[in-house]
Structure formats: structure tokens, C-alpha cells
Structure 1
Amino acid sequence: MVLAVSTALFKLKIYPQYHPFIAKFGFNLFMAQPLLYRDVADINSSLIREGANMKLVTVVIKPFKLEDVREALSSIGIQGLTVTEVKGFGRQKGHAELYRGAEYSVNFLPKVKIDIAIADDQLDEVVDVISKAAYTGKIGDGKIFVAELQRVIRIRTGETDEAAL
């Protein structure tokens, strides 16, 4: 059983420095604990979920709403975000435009994608603020996607997880 778990940990690239229990008490003590894992998926979910108290919020909105959303997020203490200019379509499915007398269709509309890494307890407030700031009431206002973050590392200081946000 210990060999199977050791092999599973190695395959998952979970080393002592990456798991709080192992870092605090040592790998040998960790291996001596009774294990109730049925398979590698159980080990994966139990060991890697330490960062599950962080979320990655991805927002796709109309470009002219970017400054409103940024100001709203700053007002609640969000200190960092990443912005990318993107193109896409949803239910809008593009539109027709006229250029020098010729009509052509624009299938991909310009949008702005914002990525924000936050602590789990900030999620409801962040989603609410973004929803209000990006709202126009018209088709194409955008979408908010929320995903769990397993790990965050600030490169300069080596801080990890919530301390790195």
C-alpha cells in the first residue's frame, strides 16, 4: 500500500514541499498515517485541494465597460487583474457592417477578457460588483466564469496561495 501511494504521489508530482502536512511533519510520518484512499483520484483530490480556497474569475465583457469594471473592483479592494483583448461570439453571432459601399459580416465581436485571482470569501462580492458594473441590459453584456485555483505563486517573493494574491 505504501509503495502504491508513493508511486501515486510521484506520478502526481506531489513532493514534500508542496503539501502542508508533509512540509510540517515530514514525508515518513505522512506515509505512516493510515490511508483510506481507494485510488489515485482520491489522493489527488485530497492532497491538491489545499488551494481550493481560491478562485479564478474570468470575465468577458464589452470593451467600453472595462474602466467601469476596473473602478468597481478597485473600490472593493481587488488589487490586481489581467486584461486581454479577445474576439468571440455568443447569441449575438456577429453583425453586418458597411465599408465603402460593400456590406460584410463581422462574425467575431471585440471583447475584453479579465482574469482575477481572489480568495474564496471574496467571490460573491466580486461577482456582484462585476455584474452591476458591466450591465447594459443589451445582448452581449458578457459572461462571468468561476474556477477553482489549486496553487498561486508570486515569483518575486516565493509567497504561495492566498498570500500571493
Structure 2
Amino acid sequence: MKKIEAIIRPQKLHDTIKALHSIGVTAFTVNQVVGRGMQKDQSGIYRGRNYQVSLHPKVKMEIVISDFMVERTIQAVISAAQTGEAGDGKIFISSIEQAYNIKTGLADETIDELRPVKPLKEEV
């Protein structure tokens, strides 16, 4: 199993969820976060005072999937979240040693076995 952490623009969340659903990925966690990368600081004047924003609002999606779903999940996130501008975000992949279903208390070794999987275009 792998955990994909995708940090994306908040306005791209809906498109990214639709892209994930289209490949059968329906389980994920979403958090609102702020961060700093290559995106430039923003500054302005509010009520007569200067301000500068150096941390930008982002959305962090965490998705745990089987190894065979990693590449198609990455491609779905990129295709939905990419604008081509600085600040589009990052994707991080890490290995998951074990997962447990809290309801049953059993090890969950088939994390996405029940999800319908559509073939990639290359496989058709």
C-alpha cells in the first residue's frame, strides 16, 4: 500500500475529486492547510495598512491505495489540479506498512479491493 499526499489549490479540489472518482478512488481525507513554496508573496493595503501574505492557502488530500493504483491516481490528480503556474502544489508518495479497519479490528490488506477500477487509456 502507498499513501499519496497531494497539496493542491483550493479551487481545484472539486475537479480533483471528480477525477479520482472517475478512476474508482472514493476514499480520501481532505485538510485545509497553508504553506510556502515557489508561489510569490502577495501584498496589498487593507483599511489603510500594508499587509503581506507569505503563507498561501492550500488543500492537502491524503489517499491510501494499493500499489497498482498509484500511477493512475497520480495522473488523475495532476490532470485535474494542474494550471501550469507556480503554486500548483506537490505530490508525495510514501509506503504504508499496515492498515487496520477500526470497525472490525482486522488488518485491512485489501484497501481498495471493492472499488471499481477503470482501465487506463493505454490498456484499452
Q: Where does residue 102 of structure 1 map in the other structure?
A: 49
Indicate the SS of the match to 2:5.
strand
CA gap of 1:159–1:93, structure 2 versus 1, over 3 A, is farther
- Note if contact 1:93-1:108 (Cα within 8 Å) is conserved in structure 2: no
Which residue identity does 1:136 align to in structure 2? T
Aligned residues: 112
* TM-fit CA distance, 1:93: 4.4
> Normalising by the residue count of structure 1, what TM-score does the alignment of the two structures yield?
0.64
The counterpart of 2:38, out of the listed 91, 111, 114, is 91
**Distance (whole Å) between structure 2 residues aligned to residue 92 and residue 136 of structure 1:** 13
Kept in 2: contact 1:56–1:118 (CA 8 A): yes
Q: 2:24 aligns with which of 35, 59, 77?
A: 77
Aligned residue type for 1:58: E
Task: Give TM-score, length-normalised by structure 2.
Answer: 0.85
CA RMSD of the aligned region, Å?
A: 1.3
User: Deviations 1:89-128 (Å, cap 9, x if unpaired)?
Assistant: 1012431132123221011110000000000000110000
SS of corresponding position for 1:162: coil
Whether 1:153 aligns to 2:100 is: yes
Question: Structure 1 residue 157: deviation in Å?
Answer: 1.7
Who is 1:141 aligned against? 88
Task: Specify which structure has the bigger relative contact order, considering alpha-carbon pairs within 8 angstroms and separated by 6 or more residues.
Answer: 2
Structure 1 residues 162, 97: CA separation in 2 closer, same or farther (over 3 Å shift)? farther
| Runs of 4 or more consecutive aligned structure 1 residues displaced over 3 Å after TM superposition | none
C-alpha separation between the residues in 1 aligned to 2:95 and 2:41? 31
Letter in 1 for 2:47: R
% identity of equivalent residues: 41
Deviation at residue 131 of structure 1 after TM alignment: 0.4
Runs of at least 5 residues in structure 1 that lack an aligned partner in the other structure: 1-53
Q: Of the two, which has the highest radius of gyration?
A: 1
